[in-house]
Structure 1
């Protein structure tokens, strides 16, 4: 037994059950889009929501949540199906036969205060979503929900969903309905929930279009590895970190940029300056060779960037990857304004034509259309999804985060501070102190 395992909190699973939709649902095959089917989206996104709840009637709450899950799976019935590759190999599809999602109830000797810091190691909170789905294509359920009662009366809700079926926006729309049903706000009254879930995955399939000039898509290009990049990021070499940026610190970052940039403060977003700050701090701390090409990849919501816009309630993957790229020398020496401008340019490149190019590329290249991991930092913005407002009748969560803190950077909401952002990222242990010091510095 390792020291990590011996120091882990005890988690006891009381129940693990398949939950099927509470009413009959269609039995058929649903085709996933070319965007949904990309190889790099074939993993499980895992949310961890921590609630202060100190009520006594945990059995009643558990029964309510489990019942709400069954009802939420009626309009979102593909989440009770199973994902597989289509027989012609063109993309993925969902076999909808009401096979069910997994619901787990557990107890643990964690307390609320354990989640006010970063986990001590990458997998410290792993058992708060005990069923780890590594590959839904092997017949695993695309949705797992675990309600864990903590030793001080608080609660942890772990939710794992297949990224093939929905993106962050879509997953939170499902969670909002699930939570509303658990509180009774939508119980039996025939109320129309909004937004109504829309499938229509054909809207992001390959279409012919006039392409006046070829554009380079940096997110899919390969770069030379000058430093055995991937060997730095094995889980046992990583230490999770959490650094919070209050609103005044984000403004401080913006103020530090404008004297050295053509960008005005009003044109800068918190995402742009904060992601630039993270990218540069990470690059400096890891001391890459000057000639190493480094990339920052981040999801861009395209619901309103395509023409026509996707319908409200579309819960599939309506995202493409934005990509900022620079040499390690330029990124670390040219200042925060330079990195911020690269990120803003990456966002601005994504228009209707850009999306069509990506869709056609992944349709034609299939599994080959995968971002090369060398030199890459992936950043995901959860701070704008609304996870901090998901209330199952036990109050709003006081902490929101991933089940496992990994080499991917996640921007998170902060309880009661709507304009603050928590940055969680696991960094190679040898570079942790330098990374945290850089993150806390003004520039």
Structure 2
């Protein structure tokens, strides 16, 4: 990585400060849910939003920075747990947030990047990492759960990097915060966050273990271990990966759907774009990687359970309201059978998740804790950011022209495309030895 690092764009941090809530907030402890406290959620959601160069008259960077910083302080009033600190509860049962108004981190920086640098994939996994210079490495050691970095690019464009501790909020919850934050920065809110809809709802007890009549259980392959036939993890270290970025316009997604009609028992209309595209990515990734035929492969993806549990979670609930969907098969079946096969596996994984399924997951995590962690062997993790609304987050400098992860890693991210609501960008880092084959397969609809 030395040669790559030496060619990286220069990023200069101008300011790094703690921003506390603008008004007094409650001083107390808030318990996180069983779902929030899962070991595999103890990482950071890292968004990167790129805005067009500011070419109009009267633009004052200092004024914009001040407005963004002030808006962050105001947004932290209704979302005050994001200004707290996370720790393990004394009894070890789960996590909790110590709310004392400690603050979130705000960073202002400049960088040699231009807006055009984000039209394609980064050259290596961590090329854009310094656009969120302070990594929320371990919130259990006192790190702030929220970091915001506004970076001014050399062509007058701007990058906003935001890191959320995943144990406090999921994707939907984090974007609800960003929408309020942005509205306050533009002045479209009068400063009284009490009128914001939806109002943020804590109520994490709703996803804790509760007594219920046990129904016949389902399998939960997302937590099962598989035999490693190919030294799987050594193939996916950052230095062996090449980031990729491929756009799927609406017509290409429709072609994908139409391509599976003759072989599927289900009508193409019964498949969603997410199911078909995810299957195509998974199949292309597996074929290019040339896994042994007997290797068990899994596709893991988050499923929103806000309306799958009974009763539904309240509007404004911003905690982790997700469970993992898991499609599983052998490398031989995934690569040799048609696209319909993988698509139906994904659809079945989604359909399994109901109220009883969620309660089983909560029970299992409560009882088994550390053992309820997805086995990484054979796994491709896919996250759908394309329906969160990130493309509409306007801080007074327009809507973002690019939405991306801070690091393009071995996790596949589906991203929105500016002004194309039905199109999707697929970003994934794959082993360098397989990248050409993967791209050819992915683009071949």
**Scaled by the length of structure 1, what TM-score is found?**
0.99
Coordinate RMSD, CA, aligned: 0.9
Contact 1:111–1:154, Cα closer than 8 Å, also in 2: yes
1:168 corresponds to 2:167: no
Deviation at 1:210, TM superposition (A): 1.7
Offset from partner CA, 1:336-374 (integer Å, 9 cap, x none): 000000000000000000000001111111121101001
Distance 1:154 1:260, change over 3 A: same
Q: Of 204, 207, 219, which residue of structure 1 is paired with 2:207?
A: 204
Contact 2:78–2:193, Cα closer than 8 Å, also in 1: no
Higher alpha-carbon deviation: 257-266 or 145-154: 257-266
Aligned residue number for residue 227 of structure 2: 224
Deviation at 1:400, TM superposition (A): 0.1
Contact 2:410–2:429, Cα closer than 8 Å, also in 1: yes
Alignment of 1:343-354 (within 5 A): 343-354=346-357
Deviation at 1:188, TM superposition (A): 3.5
Q: Distance in 1 between matches of 2:277 and 2:204?
A: 33
Q: Distance in 2 between matches of 1:112 and 1:250?
A: 27
Q: Of 113, 118, 122, which residue of structure 2 is paired with 1:115?
A: 118
Q: Distance in 2 between matches of 1:336 and 1:320?
A: 25
Deviation at 1:190, TM superposition (A): 6.9
Unaligned runs of 5+ in 1: none
Contact 1:53–1:395, Cα closer than 8 Å, also in 2: no
Aligned residue number for residue 49 of structure 1: 49
Q: Distance in 1 between matches of 2:6 and 2:215?
A: 61
Distance 1:296 1:190, change over 3 A: closer
Aligned residue number for residue 2 of structure 1: 2
Alignment of 1:39-438 (within 5 A): 39-55=39-55, 56-188=59-191, 192-438=195-441
How many positions carry a matched residue from both structures? 442
Q: Distance in 1 between matches of 2:64 and 2:370?
A: 43
Contact 2:53–2:155, Cα closer than 8 Å, also in 1: no
Contact 1:362–1:369, Cα closer than 8 Å, also in 2: yes
Deviation at 1:109, TM superposition (A): 0.7
Offset from partner CA, 1:389-436 (integer Å, 9 cap, x none): 000000000000100000000000001110000000000000000000
Q: Distance in 2 between matches of 1:4 and 1:72?
A: 38
Q: Distance in 2 between matches of 1:314 and 1:131?
A: 27
Structure 1 stretches of 4+ moved >3 Å? 188-191
Q: Distance in 2 between matches of 1:391 and 1:190?
A: 17
Deviation at 1:187, TM superposition (A): 2.4
**Scaled by the length of structure 2, what TM-score is found?**
0.98
Residue 260 of structure 1 aligns to a residue in which SS? coil
